[in-house]
Every structure is written in C-alpha cells, then in structure tokens.
Amino acid sequence: MRIINDMKIHFKRGIACFLAAGTLFAGGCGRAQYDMPYTVNSDVSGFRIVDTREENSTAVPFAADLCVVSSDINVNAVDMSKASGAALFDINNKNTIYAKNVHEKLYPASLTKIMTALVAMKHGSAEMMLTASGNVTNLESGATTCGLKEGDQMTLSQALHVLLINSANDAAVMIAEGIAGSIDAFADMMNEEAMALGATNTHFVNPHGLSDDNHYTTVYDMYLITNEAIKYDMFNEIIHMPEYTTAYNDKNGNSRELTVGSTNYYMQGTASAPTGVTVLGGKTGTTSAAKSCLVLVSKDTANNPYISIILRAETRDDLYSQMTELLGEINN
C-alpha cells in the first residue's frame, strides 16, 4: 500500500509540473506566451516580446528595429571626457557607432520636451486650442519662457513650435494642462509612454525638465524617445526651423505677435557639422544640475539618418565641440 501511495504522490506531482509548464507555453487556443520579465529596475532599458498571433506564433523581439547597446562602444574614438554620457546611433542599419555610459541615470533638462511633444502629438491635434492657466508664470527664477500670461490662447501646433524651438517652459505647462488637465496627470502619461517604448530607466515629474530628484533619464532612453518622435512629420519640421513667428490671442482677444529663435547652435549657424553630415534639427537642454545636453537628428550624404546624444557636458562650448567630433564618426 505504501508503494502504491508513493506512486500516486509522484503521479500527482508530475501532473502538476506538466500543467505548470503548460501555463508557461500555452495561453489557450494555441496562443503562445513567453516568460520574459519586463522590469523597471533593470540596469539597462527593458525589452518586450510581442506575440504575432500567427498560426505558428513567433516571438518578435521588441528591439528588432532598434539600435541595441549594453556597454561602452568605441569610447576612445572621440574625446568625450567632459561629458557624462553620449552615443551615436545609425538608424537605418540599427547600429550603435559610439556609446559612453548610455544607461547611467542623468538629468535631462529640456530634452524632456521631446517626450512632452511626443505625448502631445499622440493625444492631441494640431489645431487643438490651448488656454494658459496661472501656472505658466509659476516657474523657477531664470526659467526660459515666451511670456505667456493667464488666459492667453494658442493652438497646440503653435505651442509645440515655441516649446521645441525656443524651449519655452511656460509653453510646456500650457501643453501639459491642455492635454491632460494637470501637470501631474501629464507626467503620468509621459511615464506610461516611456514604459511603452522600453525606456525603463526614465522617470518624469514635469513637462519641461526643470530639475527634480525624481526626474531623470539615460542616453539610451533619450534615443528611444527621440526615435519615436521623429516618426511624426510635425516634429521633424519644427526641430529644423531656426526661427518661428506666430500670433496668438490674449485673454481679452487681442492679437499678440511672437517671434522665437532656436537654442540649437547648429540651427543658428553658430556651430557647423563635419563635411558630409547635415544636422536636421534637435533639442537642447541646460540647467545647473544637468549642465549642457543635446539631442541631434542628422543625415549623411546618402540621406541615412542618425541620432546623436550628449548628456551633462561641462560647458556649452564643450557640448558643441564634442558633438561635432562625435558627428565626425558618421563618415569614419
């Protein structure tokens, strides 16, 4: 009887193991499931597995169409000693040409506004009318603004132009509140989008990038965010503009003309890319905590696109000299 009971126990354990294995590989009706943890506490950005739901389900890596990097690459190729993190990505070939500390959490400053624009373009329309609240003037001293006042109105398209070209923090507040109702709610949307993109080492608490201990990103996560943003024609058009002039209405319906210039030295003509490289646009970021930051979208003579990123350069001069040197790797 003891032998029979032991056999029954082993049989039940075997059935349990078989059923457990079945839950791992089959989610019902032939749909495959894959045990691939997706965590926000990883040293590198997370990756997802997508079920194609075809007859023979196939795992499609989240990063199949992305540049992937887990460690430094060609760190001696350029002098990046005065920057905390940097990278150069060949978009079409899905190749990381250069990488330094790409998964280190750093302050993004106004590079944050790339995500602000992405969320706004995804959830709003160009002609959507925005109205400024009193919060547009509730910013830290010295913050860049375009001079918005409570009751001022402009379209989302106008606000995005001012946001990305001039890096206006008051425009960021107006966009966030117009899209989500509040800055906190918009920050939640930003973080949801970051997770969806695999930018798991990123966390936002505001739409403008003014410093906060809980507001951070990485070089690689900024690549993921920018790579998504350039899928929108409006974004590409805006970041390429050296200047923008528009008119909006104040709370009394009076028309106000506004002209803003790009904060990007390459768009201003103050900095020049290496021969054979054309800078299509980008976004700057500067705070005392983040120091000088820059994301660029460029192309080579064959019109192949590249994304280059530098975070926490010591000075603005260091930022542009190092970025120009980094762009030189495109033709090497």
Q: Are 250 and 149 in contact (CB under 8 A)?
A: yes
Based on the fold, state whether residues 115 and 236 are members of the same structural domain.
yes
Q: Which of the four pLDDT bands, split at 50, 70 and 90, describes residue 64?
A: confident
**Helical (H) or strand (E) element with 116:** helix 112-123
As a whole number of Å, the end-to-end CA separation of the chain is: 78
- Asked if residue 287 is part of any domain, the answer here is yes
Taking the model in full, what pTM does it have? 0.84
Q: How many folded domains does the chain comprise?
A: 2
CATH number of residue 131's parent domain: 3.40.710.10
Evaluate if residue 15 carries a pLDDT over 70: no
Evaluate if residue 274 carries a pLDDT over 60: yes
Based on the fold, state whether residues 124 and 180 are members of the same structural domain.
yes
Based on the fold, state whether residues 137 and 30 are members of the same structural domain.
no
Please compute the mean of the pLDDT values over residues 249-273 and round it to a whole number: 97
SS3 string of 174-195? Answer: HHHHHHHCCHHHHHHHHHHHHH
Please compute the mean of the pLDDT values over residues 307-316 and round it to a whole number: 98
Tokens of 3: 């032998």
Residue found under tokens 């995005």: 160
Range of the domain at 38: 2-65
Could you say which DSSP state residue 109 is in? G
Q: Which of the four pLDDT bands, split at 50, 70 and 90, describes residue 104?
A: very high
- Catalytic residue annotation: 110, 113, 167
Evaluate if residue 57 carries a pLDDT over 70: no
Q: How confident is the model at residue 46, as a pLDDT?
A: 59
For 35, residues 6+ apart whose C-beta sits below 8 A from its C-beta are 24
pLDDT higher for 170 or 37?
170
- Asked if residue 74 is part of any domain, the answer here is no
Evaluate if residue 211 carries a pLDDT over 90: no
Evaluate if residue 51 carries a pLDDT over 80: no
Task: Work out the number of other CB atoms within 10 angstroms of the CB of residue 223.
Answer: 27
Q: How many percent of the chain have pLDDT more than 90?
A: 79
- As a whole number of angstroms, the longest Cα–Cα distance in the chain is 96
Based on the fold, state whether residues 253 and 162 are members of the same structural domain.
yes
- Asked if residue 140 is part of any domain, the answer here is yes
Q: How confident is the model at residue 142, as a pLDDT?
A: 87
Residue found under tokens 């602000």: 116
- Asked if residue 312 is part of any domain, the answer here is yes
Q: How confident is the model at residue 302, as a pLDDT?
A: 97
Based on the fold, state whether residues 194 and 265 are members of the same structural domain.
yes
